[in-house]
Amino acid sequence: SQKIEQNSEALNIQEGKTATLTCNYTNYSPAYLQWYRQDPGRGPVFLLLIRENEKEKRKERLKVTFDTTLKQSLFHITASQPADSATYLCALVFTGGGNKLTFGTGTQLKVEL
């Protein structure tokens, strides 16, 4: 079965630095990968989508890379701000899986002043 791993330990960084979160997967190749943000007590909110044939995607201060050889995606937040503090979830749809998202366990990011 598919397994998606994210750093279970919280990531603490200083304001202004770049936060880098990792998402690793095993077994089958995904058709595409998404990143979501979840704040305490709220539902996940979509951030970025990257397809298997794309290496990199950017949106404002966010950047996602996708390495299907390493079976890994990296999620970067540049010039991080305290407001970026949240849990970030990666989610994959595997080929032939329609729109069935399989989520990782999420990484909690805390940006400190």
Partner 1 sequence: DTAVSQTPKYLVTQMGNDKSIKCEQNLGHDTMYWYKQDSKKFLKIMFSYNNKELIINETVPNRFSPKSPDKAHLNLHINSLELGDSAVYFCASSQDWGTGYGNTIYFGEGSWLTVV
Tell which positions 6-45 bind partner 1, by CB under 8 A.
31-32, 34, 41-45
Q: How far is the CB of 8 from partner 1 (least distance, A)?
A: 9
60 lines the binding site for partner 1 (CB under 8 A) = no
- Which helix (H) or strand (E) is 5 found in, with range? strand 3-6
Q: How far is the CB of 98 from partner 1 (least distance, A)?
A: 5
Q: How far is the CB of 74 from partner 1 (least distance, A)?
A: 19
Amino acid, single-letter form, for residue 113: L
